[in-house]
Chain A
Amino acid sequence: MRVALFITCVNDTLFPGTGKAVVSLLRRLGCDVDFPVAQTCCGQMHVNTGYREEGVRLARHFTEVFAGYDAVVAPSGSCAAMVREQYPKLARPGSRGAAAIAEVAPRVYELSEFLIDVLKVEDVGAYFPHRVTYHPTCHSLRGLHLGDRPARLLRNVRGLELVPLPGAEECCGFGGTFAVKNPAVSAAMGADKTRAIMDTGAEVLCAADNSCLMHIGGTLRRQQTGVRTMHLAEILASTEEAQ
């Protein structure tokens, strides 16, 4: 299967390790992966902050870059939800843009959806001998309805102990530009989230969105908790040989 990777601008720029993990994971599972180099950003930050025009331009760019692939895989619940849920609202019904969106959007998958729904694998042959807790992130949870897909994948990772996160469904307080526009509330939410993570005794916090992990991880590091953050893809990509 020929799969296009949408690595997302945040991963591309700040978390290239996640992109590399997706590449090695999908290749291990037999996919032929491509990274269309013309890709940039889904436009979520612009749309959600009130810069629709720029957002629409980026959405148009996205649909051009990813037209014609069987599947587009993104290691970000938030960006996948942007394309699938919000793009259709950006174009005028009946317009050319709307048609392009209708063509591409349904083929965009978040990583765990792609693994479980398309490749039909739950055991990706990973090995990660650590105590891990999982934060579902709002857009994965309520935008994409990922449900227990990530947990099913993690439970099949050898050596991994998955511990439940109290109040997992509560927002961590990132919210894109919200973190900067409402810093006091965002920080308070982040502090409550890190407290819950500490209570689990986990060594690693995992999620399917590096932006939320950047906010939570930044808080964890500032508080010198010693808890690491890792993207789901990185845990799923890790194998016994790699340890």
Chain B
Amino acid sequence: MSTTRKLTMAQAISEAMAQEMTRDPNVFVMGEDIGAYGGIFGATGGLLDKFGPDRIMDTPISETAFIGTATGAAAAGLRPIVELMFVDFFGVCMDQIYNHLAKNTYMAGGNLKLPVVLTTAIGGGYNDAAQHSQCLYATFAHMPGLKVVVPSNAYDAKGLMIQAIRDDNPVMFMYHKGIMGLPWMAYFEGSSNEVPEAGYTIPFGQAKVVREGQDATIVTISQMVQKALLAADELAREGINAEVIDLRTLVPLDRAAVLKSVAKTGRLLIADEDYLGFGLTGEISATVAENLDTVVLKAPIKRLALPNVPIPYSRPLEQFVIPQVKGIVEAVQKLMQARMAEGVAA
């Protein structure tokens, strides 16, 4: 039996990296402030002391160069983990990510393996405004060639990180700042949980039912899972049992888990912190719409996500655009009002 302890998500991620670095000498980490600082969001905390500067490499502020370096090193047989400090910074290096890292395997007819884990911080809620608060996972999921992993808690983060490092393909590992358990940013307690000391993997493409319910399905990911669970608690007090599904990975996407749950509940809310337009909420909605021959809806689908505006700075503005627990509760209540209307009509 493996011993478990309660870890923050940041601790779980760095533990996963450390265990894989111990297991496989080809694994190393590059990025800005990932050494002595331990990563601005703690994902590489303690690694420099364990592995030294040859394997925990602080880089210049040159994302194009060091992400391209990761691609080149992976082609040569190494397994780099490379950090893009905020996902919002992808603009300075996207060519190396989507034109090279993501496409070279395909253009090589599958003859080239690029085992790179690209870690990056996502999410808002702490008033950092439009250039430091986005999620953008749908942007990366939209383009072929990248696996996209977005954990919601420490246990999943460790298993998914070990899986990512062992995968022979590029994996975007996107962690929300507001669930890392940082000592300087409010976070959702549920994201810190019991984590086995021994290493383990969680396969990609397997969503998790984090709360079972019969009345409505909430499909979500990342920090929004924690909000959805709090919302489900509130809803339970008024007799509504919501099922909460944590997708955990966008590529691959577990569409079957969504359909199975919606077939059971007949009601679907998709709660997302990425932009509403052309994103995750639309993708999940389409999946259900394409399967309406087998899935019967009792109410129209509801979507909660960021309206398509840049994320504002001021607290009331930011809290308005990012879906909150209250908004999830209200959205599910509206889904259920359809039931009540039906009942009246019947």
Is the pairing of A and B real? no
Q: Taking beta carbons and an 8 Å cutoff, which residues of B are in contact with A?
A: none
Q: Which residues of A contact B (CB under 8 A)?
A: none
